[in-house]
Amino acid sequence: MFAALSVPAESQTPAAVPQFTYADLVDLALAAPVVAHVEVRDAVRLRAERAVGVEPGKTRFYVEADVLSLIRGARGLPARISYLVDLPNDWRGRPPKLRKETQFILLATPVAGRPAELQLIGPDAQLPYSPELADRMRQVLRQAAQPDAPPKITGIGRAFHVPGTLPGESETQIFLETADGRPVSLTVLRRPGQAPRWAVALSEIVDNAARPPEPDTLLWYALACSLPQTLPPDSIAGTETSQAAAIRADYQVVLKGLGACVRNRGV
């Protein structure tokens, strides 16, 4: 049993968290074997001698909570679980408080041999519950589980540029490397008098249906949060200088179209 100081439940309030972006939520959801909606039954503040490794300005709590729903978890969970969480102190340096019956979404991993214990995957893996947040988590995990979910981008392969028959006409194709070897490519088309158009293809063949990904989707996340800001030299090694410059310019068209992968975690 932990040597700890209990915090009266009736005086407890949940700690604030930053406003997470879509990329933040996907980072957390995909990294967590267990995602659960829970309600706090008891929160105990650990004494300093029992809270080894806590960062300055934070306080560690031992929490017991009831599982209201399991959003992700292949092996299920018992009705009541426990976990440790480190929360930032307030501006006066006072420990935060956790109100009994406060609901959270936990992103965690099971503790081996202890089915009723969880370990949070990070210092910000206890999120205040809202129906909207739970729905977003479910949507991300449901999409990630589909057979056609976009693969993880691990790098950029070869890139090619073909000038057209008319001045200002060209096509650039950039092949991406993926964790599972599935094909992914970027195509940028230029036509005289028109803005450049680009698309992403998830097959060997690029057809007219290929489009840029919609913002805040797993395909957008896979690209915007993985692609480097500049092409690696190997992608255009041996390419003529003028064509290499055209490829670089077209790659920037793609990056601009995707927009920044904004993350607030840790900011």
Helix axes 22-31, 131-144, angle to 10 degrees: 60
Which residue in 102, 22, 94, 14 sits closest to 59, CA to CA? 94
Per-residue pLDDT tens over the stretch 25-62:
999 999 999 999 999 999 999 987 787 888 888 999 99
Interval 102-124 mean pLDDT: 95
pLDDT at residue 267, as a whole number: 54
Whether this model's pTM surpasses 0.75: yes
pLDDT band at 15 (very low <50, low <70, confident <90, very high): very low
pLDDT at 5 over 50: no
The residue assigned the tokens 């370990």 is 119
| 31: Cα within 13 Å, side-chain hemisphere | 15
Q: How far apart are CA 214 and CA 217, in angstroms?
A: 6
pLDDT at 48: 78
Confidence of residue 12 (pLDDT cuts 50, 70, 90): very low
Q: Is the pLDDT of residue 133 over 90?
A: yes
Out of 94-98, 102-106, 220-224, least confident range: 94-98
Residue 257's pLDDT is: 97
Task: Give strand pairing partners of 83.
Answer: 63
H-run or E-run covering 105: strand 103-111
Domain ranges (residues) in the chain: 4-144, 153-258
Contact 44, 6 (CB under 8 A): yes
Q: Which residues pair with 162 in a beta bridge?
A: 171
Find out whether 34 and 59 touch, Cβ atoms under 8 Å.
no
Q: Over the range 194-233, which residues count as b (16 or more CB within 10 Å of their CB) and which as e?
A: eebebbbbbeeebeeebebbeeebbbbbbbbbebeeebee
Four-way CATH pick for 4-144: 2.160.10.10, 3.40.50.300, 3.40.50.1100, 2.40.50.120: 2.40.50.120
Section 222-243 average pLDDT = 95
Average pLDDT of the residues in 110-133: 94
| Mean pLDDT value across residues 229-234 | 95
Comparing 267 with 157, which gets the higher pLDDT? 157
Task: Give the CB-side neighbour count of residue 79, counting CA atoms within 13 A.
Answer: 0
Residue 117 has pLDDT above 90, yes or no: yes
**pLDDT over 70 at 2, yes or no:** no
Where do the H-state alpha helices sit in 100-185? Answer: 131-144
pLDDT higher at 207 or 154: 154
Residue type, 161: H
